[in-house]
Structure 1
């Protein structure tokens, strides 16, 4: 028996059916009730697997009709209402992930970062700047500041092997996240790193994350508008 959690096993089953062509694009997959009975699990477990695949862009729900296999977007895509390991997101699309660690250092909080992290001016913080790529093409420039008090080993990590999201999720389990998105024309340095054309719009995601009542990190995530999109789905 697989050691993977049940919802992961169900996700893998659905993905296999899609990859093998049993459920082509536009095909309605088995209902939650049918999958519940097939795997002898709770409906909540099945729902979790399907929600994850909807978030990954592989499935889409159609009210009163069911859940269908979705045509894969040409753009890289991340869920706006969730925070995920970008390396796994890229792999889930069948692409190759890589990154360039541009900066990784210990520093002191200036007025702007002190306000964003809720710390005293001059407090110890860690800063990392990483360019994430999909098939060698830049899709995100991540600039992140971390409260050194709550994540003291952040500075010791090798971010060519583990992403900041992966490390923080494991060591400072996320309980709350704040997102703000805006479209900007980025400066020349950021545009060159992201290999963007002149005056190409850039999607900038401002993110702050908490673990219990501790504000752990604040980040600026830059994305080339022509190659990236943020999505969300709210069930009412």
Structure 2
């Protein structure tokens, strides 16, 4: 009996270890990694102050206040993916033209805006953001880190890379007593958000719908309740739990930072 009990205990321990290892493998597989280099083109908009790049289709508002600064890009429709491309990070280097700086320096930018298509112009003659082109319309300070801005447009090689962020995911709250609108910012790892849930005061999870850009909404009375969020990456499918992010006294117009982030 002792031998049988010992054998059963060993089997149970091994099973627990296997389950644990399986969980670790799943987590590791979800970690976003840099993709391969691909050709595209890049332009710029605005001036050296990058004042025209503030706001944008992702809804991040003041890009200095939200932590993105001037190393940002407006993506063509193909890369923007109806807003699911918001927050993604790319490395670019200028290639194949005398306008490129010596050594082809690599820059890293975050997607914060949409470069809309111009259907009145052919995609090879000015309609650079028309599908199916992959194109980057950079903030001018970012463009100037890799090429002479007088060129206007330059060929580049680009690759999507993990986003490196300081601190946890940030949730900027808008809406009213019956509608909660949340802008999700400072997302690390793949940088994007594909799904989101909210729980008010320990109640059950309510799935939020995608509004536009990097915002998600819930039609519910959540005022006076502590808010928790579950956020799923669009690219990796990994989900993180941001528990107790906003206190019961939360207010619209404020941004609350979680203690967790993607890797």
TM-score normalised over the length of structure 1: 0.27
TM-score normalised over the length of structure 2: 0.25
Comparing both chains, which one has the higher relative contact order based on Cα–Cα distances under 8 Å and sequence gaps of 6 or more? 2
Whichever structure has more helix as a proportion of its residues is 1
Larger Rg: 2
